[in-house]
Amino acid sequence: MVELACGTALPSIAALARGAKVTSTDISLLSLRLAEKSAEPLTRDNFSTQIFDIIKEPPQKLLDLHPDIVVASDLLYTEEVAKGLGRQLGVAASNGISIITTDAGRLEGQGQRIFLESFRETCEDGPNGSAESSFVTEEIPDHILDLGVSAMKYGGQVDRAVGVFEFPPAAKKSGVAMVINAKTCEITRTDILYLRNCILVLMQR
Ligand SMILES: C[S@@+](CC[C@H](N)C(=O)[O-])C[C@H]1O[C@@H](n2cnc3c(N)ncnc32)[C@H](O)[C@@H]1O
């Protein structure tokens, strides 16, 4: 798994704990150092970090890491990054890599529009139909909100839902829980959604 713009790298660390081979990337060296620190108690053999600029790097650099899945969370907060992410993930999806990204409605929803435009421009329309793929709003389960997020405020209100974009769409890939990255480990769709919700919780702190 490769995580783009990992920040605190929670999905990376959780995937690592489940046995995945993980590369965490960010433009910030500090983020990578924090991710390395978090990974210390876990096996180091399967973990690496790399500076990666979503806007400037050629997508080939991402392909060269040979991920089965690319995860990117909460990045649609500037037009430039949303566009760059769409391009990176579009090329990844065109090359058969599963992708998942999430957004809590940044830029008043415009982040998703910009991302989707860029993604569709880049992603060659395969049998899974990038043109129809879109963000799906999913509720944050009460047991996550119960962790304390209901007391936290983001943008003046508590987000109870988050937009999830994944390609290929889970429903078309499998009727039940989607197993991602079957080559190296099993990360279920539920795991990813749980991670995404955790990230949202952290984001609001
Ligand atoms: C809103 S945080 C999201 C962090 C993490 N994915 C999360 O969900 O908690 C944005 C992250 O994007 C990184 N970032 C900003 N611009 C970037 C770029 N052009 N390329 C790669 N990472 C970038 C920042 O360093 C920061 O870690």
| 8, 28, 29, 99: residue to mutate for ligand 1 pocket, most atoms within 8 A of CB | 28
Give the strands of the sheet with 69-73, arranged side by side.
47-51, 22-26, 2-4, 69-73, 98-103, 161-167, 136-139
* Per-residue pLDDT, 126: 53
Is the CB–ligand 1 distance for residue 77 below 6 Å?
A: yes
Q: Is 31 in the pocket of ligand 1 (CB under 6 A)?
A: yes
Write down the pLDDT at residue 22. 94
> Which numbered atom of ligand 1 lies nearest the CA of 6?
6
Four-point Cα dihedral 181, 191, 171, 65, nearest 10 = -30
- The structure's pTM equals 0.82
Q: Which of 1, 12, 27, 49 to mutate to test the pocket of ligand 1 (most atoms within 8 A of CB)?
A: 27
Q: Report the Cα 205 to chain-centroid distance in Å.
A: 19
Length of the chain: 205
Ligand 1 proximity of 5 Cβ (cutoff 6 Å): yes
Condensed to tens digits (0 to 9), the pLDDT of residues 105-125 reads 889 889 999 999 999 999 876
CB-CB neighbours of 75 under 10 Å: 21
Q: Evaluate: CB of 76 within 6 angstroms of ligand 1.
A: no
Nearest Cα residue to atom 17 of ligand 1 = 27
Least trusted range by pLDDT, from 4-13, 73-82, 166-175: 166-175
Q: Which atom of ligand 1 is nearest to the CA of 52?
A: 21
% of the chain residues with pLDDT over 90: 42
String of DSSP letters for 33-94: HHHHHHHTTS-STTEEEEE--TTTS-HHHHHTT--SEEEEES-TTSHHHHHHHHHHHHHHHH
Domains and CATH numbers, the chain: 2-139+161-197 (3.40.50.150)
* Residue that wins the pLDDT comparison between 203 and 45: 45
Distance CA 47, CA 132 (A): 34
Average pLDDT score over residue span 44-67: 96
Tens-place pLDDT, residues 73-117: 889 999 999 999 999 999 999 999 999 998 888 898 899 999 999
